[in-house]
Amino acid sequence: MPTQPSKDLETFPNPAPERDYQIHIEIPEFTCLCPKTGQPDFATLILDYIPDQRCVELKSLKLYIWSFRNEGHFHEAVTNRILGDLVQALEPRYARLVARFYVRGGIFTTVVAEHRRAGWQAPARVELMDFPLQSNFR
């Protein structure tokens, strides 16, 4: 039986709940329909989150994203809906969803939605020097 879209987001236990670490997911093939014209809207979704006890299972995320393909949504509404569903399923310490919609009528739209658990504060960022893979010395 072929795989079907689904609104179910599956999770699995975080393998390292004792530490803050970032999970970065890029979804370059998001589609939904314009609620005004019925024409397709295309976007790249960028999800960054810091899990607490659960992580999202990627195949279920793919099927969840696919489930919007034939639904009409305003960009702002669908971005916040997806983030809300992810927050409900994962209860992360932090999550950010960036939705970069492709040009339509000469206009690009980017919507950024964030969730921060009450009381959680991001650790200080550490910047490390990036070394090239090849040395200039011979």
Question: Cα 55–70–36 angle (5° rounding)?
Answer: 115
Place of tokens 């879209």: 5
**Residue 130 designated active-site:** no
Identify the active-site residue in 8, 20, 34, 52.
34
β-strands 54-56, 40-50 pairing: unpaired
Q: Which of 8, 32, 41, 85 is catalytic?
A: 41
Q: Is 52 a catalytic residue?
A: no
Q: Which residues are catalytic?
A: 34, 41
